[in-house]
Structure 1
Amino acid sequence: MTFDHIVIGVGGMGSAAVCELARRGQRVLGLEQFEIAHANGSSHGLTRIIRLAYNEHPNYVPLLRRSYEMWRRLEADAGEELLVITGGLDLGASDSRVLTGALEACRQHDLAHEHLSTGEIKSRYPAFNVPDGFEAVYQPDAGYLRPERCVTAHVAEARKMGAEIHERETVLGWEHRNETFIVKTDRATYEAPSLVVTAGPWASKLVSELGAVAKPKRQVVGWFQSSEPALFEVDRCPVFILDVEEGEYYGFPIDSRTPGFKLGRFHHLHEDLDPDAPRREPDAVDEEVIRRALRRYFPAADGPTSLIQACMFAMTPDRHFILDHHPEMPGLTIGAGFAGHGFKFASVIGEIMADLAAGGVTDHNIEMFSLKRFAS
């Protein structure tokens, strides 16, 4: 069977890429080894932060603006709420990377924001027990996405536009011959002049050049019951990034579709893994990584555990994405290394993948995401 494009991996990025290629009238096949919106990779967790005051690098902000637009378009197409606005806090000491990075993004891109003192944080958000001297950047456009519903919506829209998407079909390998990509799965063999790899932590198994630069990592998050749940409701608890001596934590308010206050630590235990044989079950050590922050900074949420869940993501050395063509096979488009902060960008990354795969170039500024930056 022959297609214009084959997309391997139909999670957050792949579902968006398939959808955008189908929107452009391309004959596209998406191959997913699990079911759609599965919990085995990087595109689940009930809620995922989206924010404009991007402390990681100001260059992400234009992509985020487009991402918001495209999430809203998907909401309209799907007829359901996918993006919930809560406002967002970046909290830390005055010289912390999280705080200074968020302020720099706001200043460079003229983002609406407030710079809050310790007293203002505690007065406005009594659930937060931040240390004396801490400050925060409040940005009103932040919120969270519902990742499983986002993936499902992208797939549904793609299918409406003619895309073929196969679930529970594992890619066994691929080869490039006579400007054609030949993809073999456990069911069939497919051909296309264009191959898109958006396979999350499995990407390095499909593209050898990613082996040293997109390494699979294990991550754990938890949901906890609060003794004062009203403090953690959407109107009183924004999404947040908290930079403290125990690490950088991120969290979410309680809403009607989640089992409690959600908290995790970025990069958790910095644990490497094989995505085909991961350590899926969280243990007491995993829980304590999160509990130590709950006890100190969110004591009213230090109640019974509702759920603890492990996931995986691929980490690059500089924690920035890889969005590029393969250096020797321009028909191979790679989206990888999203380093645990990529899902919010999935809608615009789908557009970028479609641009690169169908036209060879994109109008988006993706220079900092080149695979070539690791060549040395």
Structure 2
Amino acid sequence: MTIEYDVAIVGLGAMGSAAAAFLAARGARVLGIETHFPAHALSSSHGDSRLIRLGYFEDPSYVPLLQRAYQNWRAWEAALRTDLLFVAGVLQIGKADSKIVSGTEASCKLHGLPYERLDKTETERRFPAFKLDEGEVAVLDPQGGYLKPEAAVMGALKIAAAHGAELHFGERVTALEPDARGVSIVSSTARYRARKIIVATGAWVADLVPALRPYAMPIRQVVAWYQPQDGFVAQVGRMPCFLRDEGNGGSYFGFPALGADGVKIGRHAHFMEPIDPEKPNPPVNEKDRALLDDFAVRRLLGVASHRVRETTCRYTMLPSEDFLIDFLPGHDNVVISSACSGHGFKFMSVVGEILADLALIGETQLPRSLFSFHRHFGA
């Protein structure tokens, strides 16, 4: 006899695990299926730290979602009795008219968020980890900071399991068969039925949603950790997390010394190098190291002095770099959560709530107009 679940979730990374937590907590009968293991190294949900910030330069429309995400992160922390979100400040550096600086200020002004604009002299006095060029400024988001991604994913799965979710690992879904009553899910070991399904498979999304193949591009991301010469100025509280606009050189992100490996830095989207998600991530090479070493020498001299390790992860990019969170066109029992384009992890705790709303009631009161199929593809 086939057991019918209220909602099945394919992919238990950041967004899938969060959806499982919200759905199970609401009393839904939940099945979660993951090909690998929690917070695995082929996902986009590992590497010790992820930025979170309220003054969102990408688009002010994201700010209400971030405000809700902060509430949800704190609720999870209370439920799990552990820390997930750490307020350390985020410093956005660049020319005054750069997207990172001007966009951050615009979001803060529109939503009444606290921020400080600092000139070169004041930035270097207060935060000696950073060296600014003439004409550059910095905007400090005092409520920004960082998340612990592995702990967040494991915590969401713990909440889901505590509320009765059935979680399968090491099992790959090979086909979805939606019909008028629900969805049949075919995996490497079994067949299941669910009234609704959420597809949150990250770099593998096009395998189950072929319509996304021309658009959702998995790329390789590289980050590296550096030991500081001056460990004092690299400490949390003295060095905030940061974003830096390098003009034609792209944008970089980084963190103070959160652990023994030191200061972590990376360039957003790195070289935009497409990868095959079925293969292991290509190893870090000398070109990767040279890019990050050059930034460390030019911008973080003294606090990113000696590279000690590096690693790769994956982004899944859409052309607009906005998220996709919507019903699959023509199938109101299939919800897609995909392509967070390298800036989505901070939204994990609110995207899970949105996905639970869509799967259980078909709509949400949380804003998601940026994330529809129609907006992305005219579908």
TM-score by length of 1: 0.98
SS of structure 2 residue aligned to 1:3: strand
How many angstroms apart in 1 are the aligned matches of 2:122 and 2:184?
Answer: 59
- Cα deviation for residue 336 of structure 1 reads 0.6
Q: Which amino acid aligns with 2:256?
A: P
SS where residue 14 of structure 1 aligns? helix
| Cα offset, 1:320, TM superposition | 0.4
In the alignment, does 2:91 pair up with 1:89?
yes
Q: Quick one: which of 330, 350, 355 aligns to 1:328? A: 330
| Counterpart in the other structure of 2:133 | 131
Deviations 1:220-279 (A, max 9, x none): 1111111111111101111111001432000001123x5210000001001011111143
d(CA) in 2 for partners of 1:121, 1:244: 17
Query: For residues 122-179 of structure 1, what are the alpha-carbon distances to aligned partners after superposition, in whole Å with 9 as ceiling and x for unaligned?
Result: 1111110111111111111000000000000000011000001111111122212343
Q: Which amino acid aligns with 2:342?
A: G
5+ residue gaps in structure 1?
A: none
Question: Who is 1:252 aligned against?
Answer: 255
Cα distance in 2 for partners of 1:137, 1:302 equals: 21
Distance in 2, matches of 1:309 and 1:95, equals 33
Give the corresponding residue for 2:124: 122
Which residue is equivalent to 2:108? 106
Contact kept? 1:280, 1:311, Cα under 8 Å: no
Task: Give the aligned CA root-mean-square deviation in angstroms.
Answer: 1.1
| In 1: Cα distance, 2:337 partner to 2:266 partner | 25
Counterpart position of 2:217? 215
Kept in 1, the 8 Å contact 2:297–2:305? The answer is: no
Distance across 2 between alignment mates of 1:254 and 1:26: 41
SS in structure 2 of the partner of residue 76 of structure 1: helix
The one-character-per-residue Cα deviations of 1:307-360 (angstroms, maximum 9, x if unpaired) are 211011210111100011111101101111100000000000000000001100
CA displacement at 1:305 relative to structure 2:
2.1
Offset, 1:87: 0.8
Secondary structure at the aligned position of 2:309 is classed as strand
Instruction: Determine the C-alpha separation between the residues in 1 that align with 2:282 and 2:194.
Output: 35
Question: How many residues end up aligned between the 2 structures?
Answer: 375
| Counterpart AA for 1:249 | Y
Query: Structure 1 CA distance, aligned partners of 2:64 and 2:179?
Result: 37
- Corresponding residue for residue 273 of structure 1: 275
* Equivalent residue, structure 2, for 1:309: 311
Partner of 1:181: 183
**Alpha carbons 2:6, 2:196 under 8 Å: kept:** yes
Identity over aligned pairs, percent: 38
Q: Bigger CA drift: 42-51 or 236-245?
A: 236-245
- Code of the residue aligned with 1:4 in structure 2: it is D
Quick one: distance in 1 between partners of 2:314 and 2:185?
Answer: 25
1:161-206: CA deviation from partner (whole Å, max 9, x where unpaired): 0001111111122212343211111121111010101111111221
Instruction: Calculate the TM-score normalised by the size of structure 2.
Output: 0.97
Q: Deviations over 1:95-148 (max 9, x none)?
A: 101000000000000000111101111111111011111111111100000000
Which residue number corresponds to residue 17 of structure 1? 19
